[in-house]
Amino acid sequence: MFFIGKQKMENRVCAAPMAGVSDKAYRVLARDFGCGLVCSEMVSDKGLVYGQGRTSKIADSSGEKRPVAVQIFGSEAESMATAARIVEEMGADIIDINMGCPTPKIVKNGEGAALMLDITKSRGIVREVLRVVKVPVTVKMRKGWDENSINCLELAQKLEEEGVAAICLHPRSRQQFFSGSADWNLIKEMKKELKIPVIGNGDIWSADDAQRMIDFTGCDAVMIGRAALGNPFIFRETFELLENNRRIPPPSREERLQTATRHLNLVCQFKSEAVAVREMRKHFAWYIKGLPGATRVRQEINRAASRDELLFALDSLL
């Protein structure tokens, strides 16, 4: 257990925000499998400010088990503050500011990881957001723009001075994207330097990896991203190891397929069937990866045009 501001965290397992993945259905599953903190997909500040319906849906966490963080991205302090106020009014328990997204369409607008190039600007955004909201504000960042500008420690210290409640560090540079390895030494250094919680992210592919990160860095919690694609079971395995010192077996084939079906049903609750089918194709491919017959079934999944056709394809693996 730890606190982000005044917000109590049940455990040290967090789900990373992932565009096109971390929707309400995914978050519900993650919580059910033991995640202590879930986060929305990144939400555009301008989309919120200008009232774009799809953007508001991404930020909607109504009916979910608390706490839920909503991550916003942008490059202008005033717009980010307005967006933060909107998501607070929508019920966000924590507001996370994205300073780590490496994708070209984000950084070309000075957003995401590009904010690490201008510490003064980043401080100004955080200061303005903190001025208008009461919920805790956190920041997710990378180690820097490239190997010649590793400034995550300096930026984190400045943002702690401004009043952020926690920092999540993915210690790769923007230039690396997801290549190479995450430098856990930087998480360790950041934990030594800051008084606020530090959440470690990067290269956690198993519960044992999560335990190693905590043992090596002393971080307050771990955040799991890509390893959870088609594998929400990693949250349960990590929870049991970190909180109960217990290793549990991996899911059976039946549980993997049952969970994929439940995931589809959850998406259908929150979105139209057509949208659910389109979005779940990639999830189903992740769920069945490595199972005998997966290659054949993946082709059927990609051709499926309805919920029933998706389930029929999945059932052939039982």
Q: 18 labelled as ligand-binding?
A: yes
Kindly report the pTM of this predicted structure: 0.96
**Would you kindly state where each structural domain of the chain is located, as residue ranges?**
2-244, 253-315
- Three-state secondary-structure class, residue 220: coil
Residue 130 pLDDT exceeds 80: yes
At 131-164, the pLDDT tens digits run: 999 999 999 999 999 999 999 999 999 999 999 9
Q: 17 labelled as ligand-binding?
A: yes
At 105-127, the pLDDT tens digits run: 999 999 999 999 999 999 999 99
Report d(CA 232, CA 262) in Å as an integer. Answer: 12
Q: 140 labelled as ligand-binding?
A: yes
Q: What amino acid positions are annotated as catalytic residues?
A: 101
Q: 226 labelled as ligand-binding?
A: yes
At 174-211, the pLDDT tens digits run: 999 999 999 999 999 999 999 999 999 999 999 999 99
Give the model's confidence band at 213: pLDDT under 50 very low, under 70 low, under 90 confident, else very high.
very high
Residue 96: its pLDDT value, please? 99
Average predicted confidence (pLDDT) for the chain? 97
Closest CA to 29 of 307, 274, 270, 291: 270
Which CATH number is 253-315's, of 3.40.630, 1.10.1200, 3.30.160, 3.90.226?
A: 1.10.1200
Q: 136 labelled as ligand-binding?
A: no
Report d(CA 102, CA 100) in Å as an integer. Answer: 6
151 Cβ neighbours under 8 A, 6+ residues apart: 116, 119, 144
**To which residue do tokens 């005998």 refer?**
292
- For residues 24 and 39, is the Cβ–Cβ distance under 8 A? no
Q: 134 labelled as ligand-binding?
A: no
At 60-108, the pLDDT tens digits run: 999 999 999 999 999 999 999 999 999 999 999 999 999 999 999 999 9
Q: Residue 120 to residues 77, 81, 159, 168: CA-CA distances in angstroms?
A: 11, 16, 10, 19
- Does the 2-244 domain belong in CATH 3.20.20.70? yes
